[in-house]
Amino acid sequence: DQQVKQNSPSLSVQEGRISILNCDYTNSMFDYFLWYKKYPAEGPTFLISISSIKDKNEDGRFTVFLNKSAKHLSLHIVPSQPGDSAVYFCAASGSGNTPLVFGKGTRLSVIA
């Protein structure tokens, strides 16, 4: 029973265009959401997060949108760069002392 779902295993985008990575969740107790980025042979690194009290959080080229009623979040990268090519994991957590639950990841390829 996957609580965090990333239904697109891969995405290919032209350099300079927008990349949109989607994530759905089923647990209504989740109130904190994060995106991690993973390069081959490296551990995931934190990218951006959003609390359930917000519907948008922006950090440079990266913006995360949260739609609580739809239990959906998305990560927008604009403009996309070749160095953004990586696997992106969506993660979610309930309040406080709970481990993060991760999705299966989406492999983004940004083509020059």
Partner 1 sequence: GAGVSQSPSNKVTEKGKDVELRCDPISGHTALYWYRQSLGQGLEFLIYFQGNSAPDKSGLPSDRFSAERTGGSVSTLTIQRTQQEDSAVYLCASSLAPGGLPGTGELFFGEGSRLTVL
Among 34, 73, 75, 77, binds partner 1 (CB under 8 A): 34
Please tell me the distance from the alpha carbon of residue 10 to that of residue 107, in angstroms, as a whole number. 4
Phi and psi for 95 in degrees, rounded to 5?
-70, 140
Residues 71-110 that bind partner 1 (CB under 8 A): 89, 91, 93-105
Between residues 60 and 96, which has the closer beta carbon with respect to partner 1?
96
C-beta of 77 vs 91, nearer to partner 1: 91
CA dist 91 and 18 (Å) reads 21
Minimum Å gap between C-beta 85 and partner 1 is: 18
45-64: contacts with partner 1 (CB under 8 A): 45-46, 49, 51
The residue among 4 and 108 lying less far from partner 1, judged by its C-beta, is 4
11 is a site residue for partner 1 (CB under 8 A): no
Strands 106-111 and 10-14: parallel
Q: Which residues bind partner 1 (CB under 8 A)?
A: 4, 6, 32, 34, 36, 41-46, 49, 51, 89, 91, 93-105
